[in-house]
Every structure is written in C-alpha cells, then in structure tokens.
Amino acid sequence: MKRVFKVLFVLVLVFASVAIVSACDEDDGRQVINFYQPFGGPSELEKLTELVEMYNESQEIYRVNMIFIPDVQTRLQTSIAGNRAPDVVYFEGFSVQQWASHDMFYDLTEMAARDGLTRDIFYDYVWDESVYNDRLWAVPLTADNRMLFWNKGMFRDAGLDPERPPRTIAELDEFSRILTTESADGRALETVGFVPWLEMGGLVTFGFAFGGNLQDPVTGELTPDDPKIVEALEWMMQYVEMLRLARLSTFLSGMAQEISMISSGQVGMTITGSWMLSLLDEIEGLEYGIAPIPTPSGEDNVTWGGGFSLIIPHNARNVDGAWDFIKYATVGEGAELASKYRTMFASAREFNEGWVEYDERYQVFIDALETARSRPQFSANLYYMSQMHDATERFLRNQGSAKDLLVRVRENTIAHMEDANAPLTSPTESNNTGEDD
C-alpha cells in the first residue's frame, strides 16, 4: 500500500508540473522562458510555482514555462548537446564550477556588473561557488548549512542534561557512549548515541571541525591529507569499534522511513540542516535541540554551506528573458518567498529576516551563513568528493591507513583533471561524505 501511495504521489506532482507548463503555453504574444527545476516535493514545488506565477504577473514581456525534471543535470547535458537547451535552470551551486570549466554555461559577468548584482549582496561562499576563472557563471538563489541536532528525550532518559549539548569532540564521544546501549548478548544495538559519517556528517564536516583544509586557500593545491583531515578520519574509527559495522547496518535498516536519525527515538544525535526543522516539528512528542557542531576545543565552531543557483545554458535561446527572471528570483520580489516557505534560506542575506521573526531557532543557522565554508571549488570538485567518500568507506572497513588513502585521493583527482576525456561527475557519484544538498 505504501508503494502504491508513493507512486500516486509522484504522479500527482508530475501532473502538477505539467499543468504549470500547460498554463504557460498560451499564445499571448509573450516571449517564453523555459525553466528546468528538479524539485517535486510539495514545499519546494509550491514555492517555485508561486515564484513563476508572481513573475508572470509582474510584467508583460516574458512568460516562464516551468518544467519539472527530476534528474536535471543528466537532462540538461543532453539538451545542451542536442541544441535544445532550456533558458534557465535551477542548479546545484557546488556543481557550477565543474560545468563552467566545460563551457556549458552562459557568462553572466557583464550583465551582473551592469545591473548591480555584486558579491556583497550574497553570502561569501555562495558567490564563490558561482565564479570560475574570475567570471560569473551562476547567480546564487538558496543557501543552507549544518548543525548538531540532539534528542532531548533520549538525553533525559540516559541521565544527561537535555538542555546541554556536547561542545567538544571529547564530550561528543562521551555522550555517545552513554546514549549507546546493546542487547544482553551484545549482538544487537538497541540505541545509538551518534554516527559521525551519517546524514550531514562525514569527513568534510568533521575535517573542517578538526581545523583541516581540503584545499590550500592561497595556492589552490589539494590537501586531502592535511594532518587535521587525517586526524578526523582516524577519530571515526572508534565509532566503528564501538558500534561494529554489521550491528550498525542491522540497526539502521529499521530506520529507512525515518525523517532523520533523531526522529526514531533510538539515535541521540546527528548532523543535519535547517530544512529539517519544519519536518521534525510535525513529529508528536519529539523534543530536540540545535547547536553548533562540536570541535576539539569547544570553540571556533565551523560549518559548511550548500544551496542552489540559477544558470543559463550557453546555447539558451532567450538569454535576456532568462536574465530578467533570474534577477527577479534572486534579488527581486521573488527572493522574499524564502522566508515565507522556509525550505532553504535566500542567498541574498537581506531576505532572511523573516525566518527569525517566525522562529528564533533559525538564528544560529543565519549567523553561521556569514562564515560558512564551502567544499573545494575547482573544475573536478565533484570527482574529488567522490574520492573522499571512497577513502572514508575504505578506511572504516580497514582497507588502508587514513594517510595513505587520503594521499591516493589527491593522486586520483590530479590524474582525473589531466584526463581531457574525463566525463562530468554527477552529484549522486559524489555523495555522501555528508555532502547532500
């Protein structure tokens, strides 16, 4: 029955998107802007639908035709190759530089300078993701970041202060041991305190928390074997020893339908993002808190950001219309919808005040956006992340030392960059060191 419901739900979303397309196909003399977007979930689809309707009503020159494309990057690649590209695309920010390096996008530098879209309007990391070789290839639309979430009920039951999250890595480890319980024979886990590589955790999250760099900020040199990154990966091994992967796999298999690890009532802490608040708030009886990600010292907290941008394919037919829509969505009235729907923050900081007025818990995320780090930015960044994920998995399965595996990440990534025939790496291939937007 659940499977039938899911199929019907997807069909409803598809038909809804088709209805949007049909409504925009009217021959009213306007220039059509074909807009690809990958979101079928109710909240984001509703927000984008309202955005399109608002824009279409705001002027009489252009009409946006929104098209729901689940695997938007694959479809975009074939559309560009076949000279049937859309005019504007809702695109993962982290993928922009790789695609720009393959000459897939229209250069927005002059238009942005002409119309006053400058770096100071946006959070630093989202703008940096949009620039390649000192040229602008996308305009940031949404932003997000990650924090520690904890289950207050589980803390209370385990004798921990439900209002006091861990602040240091040592406290995170201690709390996790207290919250983890097993069956009398030790063969099964009954509750788990924390799993550092699940959800939005992983080596990027904790590599940054330990003070490491994945890329030299000055030279651009790849540094996956930075001593602090190595230390973070080696730190994860104690969780393998405590939880044991076979037991953990069995334990997690019963949580496939959970919104988040902490919503199960069996996992005490997790790393996830602001998009989870509205979902977790709907779970009856769940008490949870939000805090910065622990660090070794308990200070200098750091997080990393993700989000989506709007791009114009290099062979789009209606560049002027696409640009007009992009401005409306990112720095115009359309940007105000971010605080109305509260799915993802606006990339332009001035449009996020409404979040805190609605719920002060969002303040910790908004404050962190100002200093959020980004994953490495260069032409093979997605491949780099796939290699980091592979190294993490191999280490946790005792298939090599942390140092050797991370050195191999750099070597493989450099070889990939030197391969002129290397294909574009998809986001699904780069997940999941915790990097899922």
% of the chain surpassing 90 pLDDT? 81
Q: Are residues 286 and 311 in the same domain?
A: no
Find how far residue 385's CA is from the centre of its chain: 13
pLDDT band (50, 70, 90) for residue 125: very high
Checking DSSP bridges between strand 31-37 and strand 62-68, what pairing results, if any?
parallel
The residue assigned the tokens 């809702």 is 90
In a domain, 434, yes or no: no
Q: Is residue 427 predicted with pLDDT exceeding 90?
A: no
Integer Cα distance of 436 and 16 in angstroms: 26
Q: Is residue 13 predicted with pLDDT exceeding 60?
A: no
How confident is the model over 131-175, as pLDDT tens digits?
999 999 999 999 999 999 999 999 999 999 999 999 999 999 999
Rg of the chain (C-alpha set)? 22
CB-CB contact of 407 with 391 (8 Å): no
The residue assigned the tokens 């070597």 is 411
Q: Which of 349, 369, 389 is the last residue of a domain?
A: 369
In a domain, 222, yes or no: yes
Integer Cα distance of 272 and 274 in angstroms: 7
Instruction: Copy the structure tokens of residue 386.
Output: 């796939």
Q: Are residues 73 and 104 in the same domain?
A: yes
Integer Cα distance of 74 and 54 in angstroms: 29
In a domain, 412, yes or no: no
Q: Are residues 86 and 217 in the same domain?
A: no
In a domain, 170, yes or no: yes
Q: Are residues 318 and 339 in the same domain?
A: yes
Q: Are residues 258 and 153 in the same domain?
A: yes
pTM over 0.85: yes
How confident is the model over 346-367, as pLDDT tens digits?
999 999 988 988 899 999 999 9
Integer Cα distance of 308 and 283 in angstroms: 28
CA distances from 189 to 132, 160, 249, 347 (A): 47, 20, 10, 41
Residue 367: closest CA among 301, 306, 277, 437: 301
Q: Are residues 153 and 89 in the same domain?
A: no
The residue assigned the tokens 């949404």 is 142
Find how far residue 299's CA is from the centre of its chain: 24
How confident is the model over 235-282, as pLDDT tens digits?
999 999 999 999 999 999 988 778 899 999 999 999 999 999 989 999
Q: Are residues 300 and 329 in the same domain?
A: no
In a domain, 377, yes or no: no
List the CATH number of the domain containing 215.
3.40.190.10
Integer Cα distance of 378 and 428 in angstroms: 18
pLDDT value, residue 343: 84
pLDDT value, residue 327: 98
pLDDT value, residue 4: 39
Q: Which of 269, 288, 305 is the last residue of a domain?
A: 305
Number of structural domains (the chain) is 2
Q: Is residue 432 predicted with pLDDT exceeding 90?
A: no
Q: Are residues 246 and 350 in the same domain?
A: no
Q: Are residues 290 and 335 in the same domain?
A: no
Instruction: Copy the structure tokens of residue 383.
Output: 């491949």
pLDDT band (50, 70, 90) for residue 426: low
Integer Cα distance of 143 and 437 in angstroms: 9
**Which is more confident, 354 or 108?**
108
How confident is the model over 323-354, as pLDDT tens digits?
999 999 999 999 999 988 888 999 999 999 88
SS3 165: coil
Q: Which domain holds residue 217?
A: 146-305
Question: Phi, psi at residue 171, to the nearest 5°?
Answer: -65, -40
- CA distance between the termini of the chain: 29
Integer Cα distance of 185 and 131 in angstroms: 56
**Which is more confident, 5 or 226?**
226
Q: Is residue 15 predicted with pLDDT exceeding 60?
A: no
Q: How many CA atoms lie within 13 A of 25 on its CB side?
A: 7
Q: Which of 270, 289, 305 is the last residue of a domain?
A: 305
Checking DSSP bridges between strand 181-182 and strand 142-151, what pairing results, if any?
unpaired
Q: Are residues 197 and 332 in the same domain?
A: no
Q: Are residues 224 and 362 in the same domain?
A: no
Integer Cα distance of 379 and 101 in angstroms: 6
Q: Is residue 380 predicted with pLDDT exceeding 50?
A: yes
In a domain, 428, yes or no: no
In a domain, 399, yes or no: no
In a domain, 48, yes or no: yes
Q: Is residue 98 predicted with pLDDT exceeding 50?
A: yes
pLDDT value, residue 55: 98
Beta bridge partners of 146: 273
Q: Are residues 300 and 177 in the same domain?
A: yes
Integer Cα distance of 131 and 107 in angstroms: 10
